[in-house]
Amino acid sequence: MPELPEVEAARRAIEEHCIGKKIKKAIIADDSKVIDGVSPSDFVAALVGKTIVSALRKGKNLWLQLDSPPFPSFQFGMAGAVYIKGVAVTKYKRSAVNDSDEWPSKYSKFFVQLDDGLELSFTDKRRFAKVRLLEDPASKPPISELGPDALLEPMTVDELHGSLSKKKVAIKALLLDQSFVSGIGNWIADEVLYQARIHPLQIASSLSRESSATLHKCIKEVVQYAVEVDADCDRFPLEWLFHFRWGKKPGKVNGKEIDFIVAGGRTTAYVPGLQKLNGNQAGKAVGKPKARTSKKKRDGDDDDNDNNEDGGSEPTSEDEKIARKAKSKRELRPKGPGKKPSAKRKSKASDTDSEEDEGAATAAAADDDQKKKPRRVTSRKQVMVGKAPKKLVNNQNTNKPRKKVK
């Protein structure tokens, strides 16, 4: 999912190209899953004629301050991205959509044309983002519930160590908790823990002050560097774990083997030779990610998603909770009158699907019912090649009610 550097790159692009310009036209998608709490027509009416005064960010959230409220607010979710026509804006590697053939993209949820002809679009191809219209975005959830911003409001070493000493949770899970510190996602957490030589499952309260100071330094350096290069991963240092962590593929970084475990409910890349469990946790076994055979896996997609597909502990961000809740509803939805929910598929469904194919599910259920019925034997040939039916015992009461198949 887009993390602090990607969202900050979008904010800076808007600040550079859109500030002081009036919104001439607006198109809001009729998608209540993404457009939260307001109708498209009311959203458009609140935008047209307003001037963009500034672009603000906290954590992974962005909002536009207009010359009068309400203001549009963007929670990027797993694949949110900002596009400005004719302007290069860095995207999270799994968020990009093809806007060269179609503008605005079919995935556009928020589109505005400014008075000088410049056009801006917010896209989301996976529909886990949220676009809201709020009087004061900073005072409303999710922004009001965020911890200090990792770039704008960094903790001191003493503050960080003091906070860590109270948390009896794995350090990776804590870094992903946006109420603890906002803006850090899966790849940044993996990177800073690798550079700090801290095992992802090390309990936060067990870290020494020295380890806390090292972690503080690494968070600051990784976040600041990624922001300075506008989140362009091609410009990240070659020795960063970032370049080798995608897709759970075997590899090495600086000659050291990379391994993958589950930490904080997420697939986590780390280097066992450098990141070791210490203290009472030394020598303990660590959990491995579950094997996956989905289309997403076959296509080489990464596991850096917030829908908690990799199993493990509870979700550690609002986006993960939203994704898991939506997924659970799809899996537990009855497929017809009197039918039980279908069993979980071995292969995960595509993340881009918002609902299951009800028709296919109903047909599958009917097919299962058909398979349960006893096979009718009509010829000797069928008996020879098929499964022989059980013979009725003489004097057996054949009118006895048949037991219901559970």
Active-site residue set: 2-3, 60
* DSSP secondary structure letter of residue 335: -
CA distance linking residue 242 with residue 218, whole number of Å: 14
Instruction: Show the tokens assigned to 29.
Output: 């998608």
Exposed (0-12), middle (13-18) or buried (19+): which is 99, by Cβ within 10 Å? middle
From residue 103, alpha-carbon distances to 21, 30, 35, 127 in Å are 21, 17, 20, 18
Q: Do 172 and 205 touch, CB atoms closer than 8 A? A: no
CA distance linking residue 361 with residue 401, whole number of Å: 30
Determine phi and psi for 61, rounding to 5 degrees. -110, 145
Exposed (0-12), middle (13-18) or buried (19+): which is 309, by Cβ within 10 Å? buried
Q: What number of residues does the chain have?
A: 406
Instruction: Show the tokens assigned to 393.
Output: 């015992």
* DSSP secondary structure letter of residue 101: S
CA distance linking residue 240 with residue 271, whole number of Å: 12
Angle at 13 between CA 245 and CA 232, to 5 degrees: 25
Amino acid at the residue 386: G
Determine phi and psi for 170, rounding to 5 degrees. -60, 140
- Count Cα atoms within 13 angstroms, Cβ side, for 4: 30
Please state, as a whole number, how many other Cβ atoms lie within 10 Å of the Cβ of residue 240. Answer: 20
Instruction: Dihedral sign for Cα 402, 369, 405, 375, please.
Output: positive
Please state, as a whole number, how many other Cβ atoms lie within 10 Å of the Cβ of residue 118. Answer: 16
